[in-house]
Amino acid sequence: MPKRGGKHAEMGREMRAECKRAKVEAACSPSVMSFESPDSLFGTLISPIKQEVFFREYWEQKPLLVQRNDPLLAAYYQSLFQLSDLKELCSQGLYYGRDINICRCVNGKKKVLNKEGKVNYMQLKKDFDQKKATIQFHQPQRFKEELWKIQEKLECYFGSLVGSNVYITPRGSQGLPPHYDDVEPGDLLYFPRGTIHQADTPLGVSYSTHVTISTYQNNSWGDFLLDTIPGLVFDTAKEVVELRTSIPRQLLMQVDIADSTKNLSSLLRRLADRLENTRELRSSDMKKDFIMNRLPPCLGCDSAPLTPGGKLPKIDSKIRLQFRDHAVITVEPDHENSDDIRREMVYVYHSLKNRRESHMMGTDEDTASEEGTAQQIHGLRFPLSYLDALKQIWSSSTVHVKELNLISDAEKENLALSLWTECLIEVI
């Protein structure tokens, strides 16, 4: 799977379609974000546009500008990140390129004005004031708790990584080409993939700040097929003899394989037939990539690591799953068995111990070793016979340990205790 980087690429081909402006009365606007659930958070972000309308009419189709004349909402948006925040953050050790880019739009092209090494705030402010350079700050959710709260909920809502960048542009300047909309504090812009955009700060305003939040990178049907088809082929080949038949002699040496495409098409139809009749389609790499790199839960913005609490689960205990949106179940070959014939195991991966500080910052080996930001995947490993019991826990609001679909009481208690130790379940 491709690794996620902190610096999102500038978007696709130029598009001149005007945003449809949804003008909203102040009385309809929420005053604050609702963090009760991922669904409620997304609802307040796009309010008063209904979620079903957004996904039916705008999602991956056309831009949307939601204008809201709510001073409380505007003040909340402005508090997410300000130029003054950079002074404190620079003292913590920010680096050009990794954390901050200094750039200007010159003759329609982006010109990067970065220095080397650590960012000095006085030099940064000088470039901002005198060179009229835009400050691009990568992944501010690593430092700003309110953005952590927002993006963690959005990752739960979309089931995909959510990154962000902050752009601070001085008056009479722009940092990135080539299209802009006149957006006011409290407004929200949605762009489908491929929409080119920019921010321009007009004269009369000291500077402008906007936050871009993006998701669904490398999360298309094509990406999903690349992840799941190998497992489907592997499983189908156990039963379909044709998939285990040798390819034609010297096929790999031929330039034109037209004669073999008929056989290949037939095999692909067999795979499609099997897919229609199966309830299981394994996605392990995409699941692991998402879980390993996403934000940990934001629990009152307390960054202390989670520890098990409450009563130990026993055979008569009633349990329920915690952090459902932060854990996935996969079936994979045993990672710890190097034999040619590898038995399948069930893996439960979770993001409860992930490091917020390295979220969406890629896997640069030099940076990881220097700053200690390398992510690792956390989870548990069980025999394949535990799969049905795990599905019970994941699909039920509550379940009694003694009712888990396992043979012995010892296995039932072992499963519950293992999940409790990882803070994935609680006893109620």
State phi, psi for 419 to the nearest 5 degrees.
-70, -35
Secondary-structure percent of the chain, ordered helix, strand, coil, rounded to 5: 35, 20, 45
The fold of 20-215 is Jelly Rolls (2.60.120)
Query: Could you tell me the pTM of the whole model?
Result: 0.85
pLDDT at position 418: 97
Residue 179 DSSP one-character state: -
pLDDT at position 60: 94
Q: Point out which residues pair with 22 in neighbouring strands.
A: 66
Instruction: Look at residue 160 and give its three-state secondary structure.
Output: coil
Residue 220 DSSP one-character state: S
Instruction: Give, in words, the CATH class of 221-276.
Output: mainly alpha
Neighbours of 219 (CB within 10 A): 15
The answer to whether 29 touches 69, Cβ cutoff 8 Å, is yes
Q: Which residues of the chain have pLDDT under 50?
A: 1-31, 179-181, 365-373
Domain ranges (residues) in the chain: 20-215, 221-276, 285-427
Residues 6+ apart with CB under 8 A from 288: 1, 330, 349, 377
The answer to whether 179 touches 117, Cβ cutoff 8 Å, is no
The fold of 285-427 is Outer Surface Protein A; domain 3 (3.90.930)
- In order, the DSSP letters of 99-133 are TEEEEEEETTEEEE---SSBPPHHHHHHHHHHS-P
pLDDT at position 97: 95
Residues 6+ apart with CB under 8 A from 404: 389, 392, 393, 412, 415, 416
Q: What is the 3-state secondary structure (H, E, C) of 7-68?
A: CCCCCCCCCCCCCEEEEECHHHCCCCCCCCCHHHHHHHHHCCCCHHHHHHHCCCCCCEEEEE
Matching fold, domains 20-215 and 285-427: no
Residue in the structure block whose two tokens are 């609802």: 43
